[in-house]
């Protein structure tokens, strides 16, 4: 199997009916970087910057942050990297930071909320990202945005830091794309306004599904209670990609769903052409894509989304379709 996937490395990632799919990997540490090349991926679709903060004994200095971001961009070369700003707090607590005891950490003071309330940390990180991106293209993405106004505030920090670096004579990125994760359901009801402001979005399906179904992703008693191939989820995912296409913005997906061949198949059938997944899933998912007729998959999935609740198992129908392909 491994050898079989390695043989796919240099093949263009295109479906049988000629639709290119951008397959990227998720990463967070230096040890992940060789996978950019050994998988033949299109780049890093999600770089989880919090990992550097979680593995250390103290807050990484700005020079350490800058060094890591430069190393990542150097390793990626001409391939794009989407850096997600710190997603800490809640269950991703930093041992050396004050801990706030929260009854519902997933719904708590985390990610961009903490970043906006304590802007020193976020500013420093954004400055390091902008400096690392000097003379190259840079993509910055915010986690857990739940209102358009939060995106505005976070983006204003990017602008402010750009002004600062310009005034201090630093080389600026040649191009900056600023986007957001889509992982809070409320964002779906502000999506048109959001799309006017962002350069791209990436669906964080792990959190989005946990919040849609009110099911703790870390609690095995309930985490399997819903089906990722069910109509409520697939309809939401369809609406996201449709609206993004209409607004001419890229919608990618970087949660676990993309790492499963059947999940990736469903996403491509819904219209997604950009996925970011764990490096180990790259081979199996690419093999599926090279063998997939995307138009046929679309024709199978779309009517199922509107079937009366409980009348059909979408998972079963898609599995049958995948086996017949
Ligand atoms: C997600 O929520 O789907 C996601 C990719 O982010 P994380 O798993 O880091 O919360
Ligand atoms: Mg998340």
Atom number in ligand 1 closest to CA 26: 5
Pocket of ligand 1 from Cβ distances under 6 Å: 46, 48, 87, 183, 204-207, 254-255
pLDDT of residue 325: 80
Tell me: the pLDDT tens digits for 199-248?
999 999 999 999 999 999 889 999 888 999 999 999 999 999 999 999 99
pLDDT of residue 93: 80
Please give the distance, rounded to the nearest whole angstrom, from the Cα atom of residue 168 to the centre of ligand 2: 35
Distance 305 CA to ligand 2 centre (A): 25
Q: Assess contact for 201 and 180: CB atoms under 8 A.
A: yes
Whole-number pLDDT of residue 6: 87
Predicted ipTM of the assembly: 0.99
Helix axes 231-246, 205-212, angle to 10 degrees: 130
Angle between helical axes of 279-290 and 261-270 (0-180°, round to 10) = 60
pLDDT at 77: 98
Alpha carbon of 118 to ligand 1 centroid (Å): 22
pLDDT at 5: 87
- Which ligand 1 atom sits nearest the alpha carbon of residue 46? 5
Other CB atoms within 10 Å distance of the CB of residue 104: 8
Average pLDDT for consecutive 10-residue bins of the chain (325 residues)? Answer: 88 98 98 97 98 94 98 98 93 80 90 94 97 98 98 98 98 98 98 98 97 93 92 97 98 98 98 98 98 98 92 96 93
Question: How many Å apart are CA 91 and CA 221, to the nearest integer?
Answer: 18
Report pLDDT for 274. 98
Q: Whole-angstrom Cα distance, residue 262 to residue 288?
A: 9
Angle between helices 294-305 and 231-246 (to 10 degrees): 120
Residue-wise over 158-183: b if at least 16 C-beta within 10 A, else e? Answer: beebbeebeeeeeeebeebbbbbbbb
Q: Which of 29, 44, 48 to mutate to test the pocket of ligand 1 (most atoms within 8 A of CB)?
A: 48
């Amino acid at each position: 199997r491994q050898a079989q996937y390695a043989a796919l490395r240099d093949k263009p990632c295109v479906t049988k009916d000629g639709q290119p799919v951008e397959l990227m990997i998720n990463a967070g540490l230096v040890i992940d970087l060789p996978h950019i090349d050994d998988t033949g991926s299109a780049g890093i679709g999600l770089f989880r910057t919090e990992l550097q903060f979680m593995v250390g004994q103290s807050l990484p200095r700005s020079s350490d942050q800058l060094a890591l971001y430069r190393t990542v961009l150097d390793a990626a070369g001409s391939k794009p990297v989407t850096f997600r700003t710190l997603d800490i707090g809640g269950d991703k607590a930093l041992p050396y930071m004050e801990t706030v005891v929260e009854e519902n950490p997933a719904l708590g003071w985390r990610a961009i909320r903490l970043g906006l309330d304590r802007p020193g940390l976020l500013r420093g990180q954004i400055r390091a990202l902008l400096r690392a991106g000097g003379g190259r293209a840079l993509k910055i993405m915010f986690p857990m945005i739940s209102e358009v106004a939060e995106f505005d505030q976070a983006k204003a920090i990017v602008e402010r830091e750009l002004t600062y670096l310009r005034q201090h004579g630093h080389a600026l990125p040649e191009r900056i794309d600023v986007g957001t994760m889509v992982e809070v359901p409320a964002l779906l009801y502000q999506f048109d306004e959001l799309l006017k402001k962002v350069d791209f979005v990436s669906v964080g399906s792990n959190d989005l599904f946990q919040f849609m179904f009110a099911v703790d992703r870390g609690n095995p008693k309930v985490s399997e209670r819903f089906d990722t191939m069910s109509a409520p989820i697939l309809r939401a995912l369809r609406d996201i990609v449709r609206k993004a296409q209409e607004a001419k913005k890229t919608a990618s997906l970087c949660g676990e769903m993309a790492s499963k061949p059947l999940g990736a198949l469903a996403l491509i059938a819904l219209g997604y052409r950009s996925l970011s997944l764990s490096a180990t899933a790259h081979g199996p998912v690419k093999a599926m894509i090279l063998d997939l007729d995307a138009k046929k998959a679309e024709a199978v999935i779309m009517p199922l989304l509107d079937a009366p609740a409980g009348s059909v198992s979408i998972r079963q129908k898609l599995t049958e379709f995948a086996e017949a392909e």
